Amino acid sequence: MSEKVETRKTYCTHCQKEVLVAISPAAPRSGQANLPDHDEVVCLDFGDKCDGEVCPLSRFRPVVMGVRLARSGLRDAGDWKTVRAQCEGCGQVSELEVVDMDHAYCTLCGTTNTWMVLALDEDGEVVVTGRRTDTGG
């Protein structure tokens, strides 16, 4: 995230309270198609209560705000719930930052993984990751 991040409070209609957001200015246009051409809002109060269909601040699914926050580094790594699993993007086994019940972010390569916990015999369990594919229908 840019060094020129501005923070301010704004009202979240889903949480029904004021939340702290960081706003990073759009990168200067230099022909890079993968850079956003608008300011990016990152909610610093993103959490378990962000479970609606659409985040009122980003107008995307809440997982998008969670990934923005994870990618930004604006939340201390120790403040994230993590799961130890193999990342589908880089293949490394590491602590993935849990964004929501279905998604975890790899801090090594930046991949957003889908994840779930499989219960094993007795008291064991394993975390598995994967990528969603459309099955048509």
CA distance 113 to 99: 10
pLDDT at 38 (0 to 100)? 65
| Paired tokens of 59 | 């107008």
Average pLDDT by stretches of 10, the chain with 137 residues = 77 93 72 62 91 90 93 90 93 94 93 90 83 52
In 72-130 the beta strands, taken as DSSP E runs, fall at 82-86, 93-98, 103-105, 112-119, 125-130
Residue burial 106-131, b: 16+ Cβ < 10 Å; e: rest: bbeeebbbebeeeeeeeeeeebebee
pLDDT at 2 (0 to 100)? 44
CA distance 105 to 56: 22
Task: Scan for tokens 């479970």, then name that residue.
Answer: 51
In the chain, where the domains are located: 1-75, 77-137
Question: What three-state secondary structure class fits 77?
Answer: helix
| Paired tokens of 126 | 């394993």
pLDDT at 135 (0 to 100)? 45
pLDDT at 93 (0 to 100)? 95
pLDDT at 80 (0 to 100)? 93
Query: With a threshold of 0.85, does the pTM exceed it?
Result: no
pLDDT at 30 (0 to 100)? 58
Count of CB atoms situated within 10 Å of the CB of 40? 18
How far is the CA of 42 from the CAs of 51, 105, 118, 134, in angstroms?
Answer: 16, 15, 32, 28
pLDDT at 132 (0 to 100)? 56
Q: Is 99 exposed, middle or buried (0-12, 13-18, 19+ CB in 10 A)?
A: buried
Integer-rounded Cα Rg, in Å, for the chain is: 17
